[in-house]
Amino acid sequence: MSTFALLLTLIFVAFAIFLSVWQKLGIEKDIIIGTVRAAVQLIVVGYVLHTIFKLKSWPLILLMLSVMITVATLNARKKGKGLPGIGWRIAVAISSTELLTMGLLVSLKIIGSTPQYIIPISGMIIGNGMVVSGLYLNRLKSEIETRREEINVYLALGATSKQAISHVMRNTVKAAMLPTVDGMKTVGLVQLPGMMTGMIVAGANPIEAVRYQILIMYSFSSSAAVTAIILGILTHGLLFTKAHQFIENT
């Protein structure tokens, strides 16, 4: 794609701004900021990846992955406002998911141990973990708010904190995983995913692109489950005191 063709895509941004002004949505500033940030961030990342791919330095690869996990954690943490210590718990969940998934992919030689494979696929796994973490925290806060009295009744009847919250945790983990599972059911029929589309546009064989997309979708299924379950285990302690008393301000 030429630079001129890329600049022409600003027509879509202009159209979005026009619609915002026309409908008095008031998001013109956000659209402009988002447009500039997206361009700058992607260009910078492009040059960084070009350097890492050229040098094939493992310290640089690990640094890149650490930055990605940090940014994902900071973004997902916003959904857990009011839960003390939720940041490091999200980081542990996403890091564990990345280590497990990428470890299996590389050790089983499903993908090559080169930055061209590790960084892009890790980005998708970490990004999926971020989304699952956000969904988990949103649902957790919603479940706690609607079932607060129910939880207190369980505790009053002698249930332990794990027994009182077990149904909430199951619903929360399930809600966090469902979008990923539903996406697997409709992939290829409703949408052509990003990785597959990018490979096809770049000239790759569609069959080869499909194989890589299947790899990603299958890894998403386990990464969603691992992230949600680890968060479920780690966040339980934030909701109760050591005496198994429900913390009312969560």
Same domain, 19 and 129: no
Q: Confidence band (pLDDT; 50, 70, 90) for 250?
A: low
Same domain, 109 and 13: no
Q: Confidence band (pLDDT; 50, 70, 90) for 244?
A: low
Residue where the block lists tokens 């027994």: 163
Same domain, 44 and 151: no
Same domain, 74 and 185: yes
> How is residue 88 written in tokens?
């490091």
Residues 6+ apart with CB under 8 A from 114: 56
Specify if 248 maps to a domain: no
Same domain, 10 and 65: no
Residue (of 224, 38, 248, 45) closest to 152 by Cα position: 248
Which residues, in sequence order, are bridge partners of residue 240? 246
d(CA 226, CA 97): 6
What pLDDT, on a 0 to 100 scale, did the predictor assign at position 213?
86
| Distance between first and last Cα of the chain | 50
What pLDDT, on a 0 to 100 scale, did the predictor assign at position 191?
66
- State the DSSP H helix or E strand holding residue 89, giving kind and residue range, or none if neither: helix 86-107
pTM of the model: 0.83
Same domain, 178 and 132: yes
Same domain, 142 and 181: yes
User: How far is CA 149 from each of CA 110, 143, 242, 248, rounded to the nearest angstrom?
Assistant: 49, 11, 20, 10
Provide the H-helix boundaries in 147-205: 148-156, 161-186, 194-201
Count up the domains in the chain and report the number: 2
Range of the domain at 24: 1-55
What pLDDT, on a 0 to 100 scale, did the predictor assign at position 137?
93
Tell me which of 34-43, 105-114, 146-155 is least confident: 146-155
Same domain, 37 and 64: no
> How is residue 224 written in tokens?
């969603």
Q: How many CB atoms lie within 10 A of CB 212?
A: 19
Considering 55, 76, 101, which residue would you say is the last residue of a domain?
Answer: 55
Same domain, 69 and 193: yes
**Residue 248: pLDDT over 70:** no
Same domain, 23 and 38: yes
Check residue 25 and report its DSSP letter.
Answer: -
Specify if 246 maps to a domain: no
Sign of CA dihedral 182, 188, 192, 195: positive
Share of the chain above pLDDT 90, in %: 45
d(CA 86, CA 92): 10
